[in-house]
Structure 1
Amino acid sequence: MNRLKFFVLFAALLLYVVPTRAEGMIVTVSIAPLKYFVESIGGDLVEVEVMVSSGASPATYEPKPRQMVALTRSKLYIAIGVPFERAWLPRMHSANPDMTVVKSTSGMHLLPMASHHHHQDGNEVLQVEQGKRILDPHVWNSPKMARELAAVILSALVRADAAGSPVYRKNYDQLMAKINEVDTEIKGLLAGSKGKHFLTYHPSWGYFAHDYGLVQVPVELEGKHPGPRELAEVIELAKEESIKAVFVQPQFSTKSAQTIADAIGGTVVVADPLAEDWADNLVNIARQFSITLR
């Protein structure tokens, strides 16, 4: 018996022993920040399940059997384009064919992930491999892109539950006001930082950097740990740009980041792009950026 069939049968069995919740329409999301947006718009009319567990990596995650139970009751699945979805999204949809899968970044102008970097005329250039565009899914880390994301979620909720439309639209307006507030606060924190480089182990901050005129320098590229040559290049650039911090996220190993920090006489700073409290988290991370970019 393959894994998908096992999960479906297991989920069906658990339906008899796990009480269903009737409080609201069940919506499953891939990562915790999406829960913030769905709950902000859906309010009491939705119940949100998060697929990638706290502390786990969206690159390698495998759903747990109990999560398949939630999927059998989910009306919507909000996908964001993180790597684990490539393998699992078709299987999850097969487990619940009546569930509507919303590809939330469809129609957005996505930036390419940096593929490698090299020196050109003394300046560091982030370059995409020719003929291989790996698009960056981390749109939620940008207030500008978050506005588009919120609009997609609003539309999905209204289509799934037309009766709740007045509530969803009112909550959406409040969320947009909050996103604008976050954007304004971050602009204030990063005033005067335009053009400055910051070093991050996993390239989660491309859209954030694009919003505020910063330059993201990733250590890990395309999910691959850096080799000695790549580490040497990053260390050289960090010294040239007087970078004294390496931003890491708790879902990934910090060993290479610590090696770089030791080489440049800097520190490792934790910045979690997958925190559930989107607004406070993004402002706090912007505050950390502002301190290290001074």
Structure 2
Amino acid sequence: MNVRRLIPAAALAGAVALGATTLTACAGAGAAGGGADGKLDVMASFYPLQFLAERIGKDHVKVATLTKPGVEPHDLEITPKQTGLLGEADVVLYLKSLQPAVDKAVAQSGVKNVVDAATLTPLEVHGTSGHDHGADADHPEEGHGDEHGHSHGEAAEDPHVWLDPVKYAEVAKGVGAALEKADPGHAADYRKNTEELVARLTALNTEFEDGLKNTATRTFITTHAAFGYLAERYGLDQEGISGVDPESEPSPARMKDLQAVAKKENVSTVFFETLASDKTAKSLASDTGLKTDVLDPLEGITDKSQGADYFEVMRSNLKNLQKALGTK
């Protein structure tokens, strides 16, 4: 079972109230922006925040994203033009620490209405393994970070909160509050849309709880260790081949450990994702006689995604987990 360690973060109540942001309301009851269409211009750093803005803002917002479909978010590079567009947005939504280039661009843009999703729900520590979240004497290399500032086992905050529907709902509430603050004239609509979205996420959580209640094994192996929150929520053990950055290379010792875990825990499947290479997953699967399948971290939607939006892909993830874990 995963060991949960909470990281001190801004209190949720204060975050939802946006005490940690610099949001300011515009004069009057209309949208904060000066767009010709009268819509609130929202810039989201990547898909999960884009999805929230679109679902909560609906017809009152115009949403753009810095991370185009098919681009691996962790490796995103920001152009000067994109930095300029950031400064023109009425509201910027990003998740600090997930994309270092975005963190830097936001700091340089001078934009005032910024919402850091990492302040809207408490972050936790999740290493590459559901059984051991820290480096040990036998494999000290697993405690090292990578060039993106991510950790492969050391005490670092895991940013992948959107893969837990409960925590994603908390972020949704904060985004809704941000839009209300920036565009008070449509506050009632944003509030209603937020409540509807949170209700759907609550229902999705129930689907996962019921669907993963009885399984033959509780352990799954994935290339990208992005599913710590999901595993914690539903009593599963995530064994990540790499760390929270999908491009990091596992050590030979880590691969050997995973072969032992697969045998001991009756693991049937090695999961890979659509936006990163499946080479390592297929190598491990070949060495251990396991199958491969997709577990999508939902950092972007492409024509290869197993669904057209967050809810569809999450339900595909659930079905793939049920198959791999041996739902009874």
RMSD: 2.2
| Equivalent of residue 181 in structure 1, options 203, 220, 223 | 203
| Equivalent of residue 88 in structure 1, options 87, 94, 102 | 102
| Equivalent of residue 266 in structure 1, options 262, 266, 290 | 290
**Cα deviations by residue, 1:116-163 (Å, 9 ceiling, x for unpaired):** x5xxxxxx8222358952110000010110111111101111111111
| Equivalent of residue 226 in structure 1, options 232, 250, 272 | 250
- The equivalent of 1:106 in structure 2 is 119
Instruction: Tell me the distance in 2 between the aligned counterparts of 1:192 and 1:21.
Output: 54
Q: Is contact 2:45-2:102 (8 Å) kept?
A: no
| Equivalent of residue 125 in structure 1, options 114, 125, 131 | 131
Secondary structure of 1:78 counterpart: strand
- Of Structure 1 and Structure 2, the greater helix share is in 1
Secondary structure of 2:270 counterpart: strand
**Cα deviations by residue, 1:64-83 (Å, 9 ceiling, x for unpaired):** 45534532421111112343
| Structure 2 unaligned residues grouped into runs of 5+ | 1-34, 136-142, 144-152, 302-308
Residue 154 of structure 1 pairs with residue 176 of structure 2: yes
Distance change (3 Å), C-alpha of 1:179 and 1:240 = same
Instruction: Tell me the distance in 1 between the aligned counterparts of 2:250 and 2:154.
Output: 19
Secondary structure of 1:151 counterpart: helix
**Cα deviations by residue, 1:182-229 (Å, 9 ceiling, x for unpaired):** 112222221213970000111111111111111111010253311221
Paired residue type of 2:220: F
**Cα deviations by residue, 1:156-190 (Å, 9 ceiling, x for unpaired):** 11111111101101111111111122112222221
Percent identity, please: 26
Instruction: Tell me the distance in 2 between the aligned counterparts of 1:172 and 1:222.
Output: 29
- The TM-score normalised by the length of structure 2 is 0.75
Instruction: Tell me the distance in 2 between the aligned counterparts of 1:172 and 1:163.
Output: 16
Q: Is contact 1:111-1:136 (8 Å) kept?
A: yes
- The equivalent of 1:7 in structure 2 is none
Residue 46 of structure 1 pairs with residue 40 of structure 2: no
Distance change (3 Å), C-alpha of 1:24 and 1:49 = same
Secondary structure of 2:169 counterpart: helix
Q: Is contact 2:221-2:269 (8 Å) kept?
A: yes
Q: Is contact 1:154-1:169 (8 Å) kept?
A: yes
Distance change (3 Å), C-alpha of 1:36 and 1:51 = same
Instruction: Tell me the distance in 1 between the aligned counterparts of 2:96 and 2:48.
Output: 13
| Equivalent of residue 163 in structure 1, options 175, 178, 185 | 185
- The equivalent of 2:15 in structure 1 is none
Paired residue type of 2:55: S
Instruction: Tell me the distance in 2 between the aligned counterparts of 1:72 and 1:21.
Output: 17
Secondary structure of 1:81 counterpart: coil
Tell me by how many angstroms 1:236 deviates. 1.3
Paired residue type of 1:101: V
Paired residue type of 1:126: D
Tell me by how many angstroms 1:92 deviates. 3.3
Between 1:192-201 and 1:45-54, the stretch displaced more is: 192-201
Q: Is contact 1:76-1:101 (8 Å) kept?
A: yes
Tell me by how many angstroms 1:290 deviates. 0.4
Q: Is contact 2:226-2:244 (8 Å) kept?
A: no
- The equivalent of 1:74 in structure 2 is 89
Tell me by how many angstroms 1:253 deviates. 1.6
Instruction: Tell me the distance in 2 between the aligned counterparts of 1:152 and 1:194.
Output: 37
Paired residue type of 2:253: R
Q: Is contact 2:54-2:63 (8 Å) kept?
A: yes
- The equivalent of 1:214 in structure 2 is 236
Secondary structure of 1:91 counterpart: helix
Distance change (3 Å), C-alpha of 1:249 and 1:142 = same
- The equivalent of 2:266 in structure 1 is 242
- The equivalent of 1:11 in structure 2 is none
**Cα deviations by residue, 1:230-269 (Å, 9 ceiling, x for unpaired):** 1111111111111121111122221111111112212221
Instruction: Tell me the distance in 1 between the aligned counterparts of 2:260 and 2:155.
Output: 26
Higher relative contact order (CA 8 A, sep 6+): 2
Secondary structure of 1:177 counterpart: helix
| Equivalent of residue 41 in structure 2, options 5, 17, 26 | 26
Instruction: Tell me the distance in 2 between the aligned counterparts of 1:194 and 1:164.
Output: 49
Secondary structure of 1:280 counterpart: helix
